Structure formats: C-alpha cells, structure tokens
C-alpha cells in the first residue's frame, strides 16, 4: 500500500500548528472571515502560511464528508491527494468565494473519480442501521429535517444510498456549501438540473429518516 500523500510536504506549511512570529505582548492578528474565502485564497497565493491553514481548516472537513460518501474509508487518502493538487494549482486560480469552493470541489471530485477508476471498484458505503435514526424521525419529517442531519455520520451513510447524481448534488450544496451555479459547474450540468437532483435527494433522505 502506497503511503498517504502529505499536503504539508507539498506546501511547506505545517497545517497542524499555527506559526506565531508576533513580538511578545503584541495583539493576536484578526482571523480572516471565512465568508470571504477569496481573500483567504489571495493571501495564501501571496505566501501567507496562516491563510493557507485557514483555507485547510475550512475545506478539509467538507472534503472528508464529501469523499466519505464517494470513496468510503479511503476518504482521507483522496483528501490528501486533493490538497497536493490544490497546492500545485493555487497560484493560477482566479475567482470569488463561491468560485474558490467550486474549484476545490472539482479537484476533490476528479481525484475521487480517478481513485475509483484506478481501483476499478464501486464506491463503498458506510453501514449504519437506519433503526438508529428512528428516535429522530417524526411525522413532520421534511427535506429541511434531512438537511439538518447532513453533518452527521448517520446522514452520510444515508446519502451514500442515494443515486450518484442526487448524492453529489446534496453533498455539493449542503456539505461543500456551493450554490446551484457553482455545483453545476463542478458536475458539468445546468443549475436547474442540480437543484432538481438536490431536491429529490433531500426528499429521499427525509423518507429514509421516516422508515
């Protein structure tokens, strides 16, 4: 088994430990607002290591949730490969906050697709008994209720049961935080088709919760 790529090695940035070059007693620098991810990307392009860490900490949890549904237990390996490609292409990226997440999501999706093609196997799913969700289900279950559940392990297991197009639409909209246009660009579809797939997927998730 090949060793897992280390994104820190490719970027030269220790992603786990923030660097602190401030003089003693100086006020800590203000955190960049994640709502303006484009600004974080621009500063990372200029060599700001703290900005790259902010980018990593914002996107990495999203990558792992998204990839877990697509490639199963190998999500961390594929996420590491994704970061290597992000580091290599970061200097040439141009775009706003939505474009930044869309660009990153496209890289993650391409790495996952390559991974599955190389292994010549279907995506593996996480086995979580639906019965465990019974206490959460009620007569008022809706697509909104399913949306609230998307960050949990159980919800990811349920998303893995959806058709691939619906699963990806739901993940890109709710986990990666993309709007319909950005998600459509990642998937190579029209925004309306992505909205429809996400809606149908969320309705199915609501049905799973009510089983």
Over residues 24-81, the pLDDT tens digits come to: 443 334 333 355 788 899 999 999 999 999 999 999 999 999 999 999 889 999 999 9
Confidence check: pLDDT of 208 > 50? yes
Task: Give the mean pLDDT of the chain.
Answer: 75
Using the structure block, give the residue that is written with the tokens 């049961």: 161
pLDDT value for 131? 41
- C-alpha torsion sign, points 9, 42, 111, 150: positive
Predicted local confidence at residue 142, as pLDDT: 46
Backbone phi, psi, residue 209, to 5°? -65, -25
In the chain, where are the structural domains located? 1-20+29-124, 126-211
> pLDDT digit string (tens) for 93-112?
888 888 888 999 999 999 99
What is the number of other CB atoms lying within 10 angstroms of the CB of residue 205?
Answer: 26
Range 1-20+29-124 classified under CATH 3.40.50.720 = no
Task: Pick 148 or 82 by higher pLDDT.
Answer: 82
Q: What is the pLDDT of residues 129-172, one digit of tens each?
A: 444 333 333 333 444 455 454 446 777 888 889 999 999 998 99
pTM: 0.67
CATH number of the structural domain 126-211: 1.10.10.10
DSSP per residue, 20-35:
--PPTTPPPPPPPPGG
CA distance 141 to 196: 19
Q: Are 1-20+29-124 and 126-211 equal in CATH topology?
A: no
């Amino acid at each position: 088994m090949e060793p897992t790529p280390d994104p820190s090695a490719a970027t030269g940035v220790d992603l786990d430990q923030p660097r602190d070059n401030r003089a003693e007693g100086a006020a800590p620098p203000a955190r960049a607002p994640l709502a303006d991810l484009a600004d974080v990307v621009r500063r990372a392009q200029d060599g700001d290591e703290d900005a790259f860490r902010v980018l990593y900490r914002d996107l990495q949890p999203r990558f792992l949730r998204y990839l877990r549904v697509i490639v199963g237990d190998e999500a961390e390996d594929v996420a590491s490969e994704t970061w290597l490609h992000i580091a290599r292409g970061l200097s040439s990226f141009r775009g706003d906050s939505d474009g930044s997440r869309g660009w990153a999501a496209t890289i993650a999706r391409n790495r996952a697709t390559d991974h599955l093609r190389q292994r010549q196997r279907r995506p593996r799913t996480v086995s979580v008994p639906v019965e465990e969700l019974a206490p959460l289900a009620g007569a008022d279950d809706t697509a909104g209720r399913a949306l609230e559940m998307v960050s949990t392990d159980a919800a990811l297991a349920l998303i893995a049961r959806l058709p691939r197009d619906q699963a990806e639409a739901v993940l890109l909209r709710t986990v990666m935080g993309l709007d319909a246009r950005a998600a459509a660009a990642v998937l190579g579809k029209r925004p309306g088709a992505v909205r429809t797939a996400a809606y149908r997927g969320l309705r199915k998730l609501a049905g799973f919760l009510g089983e």
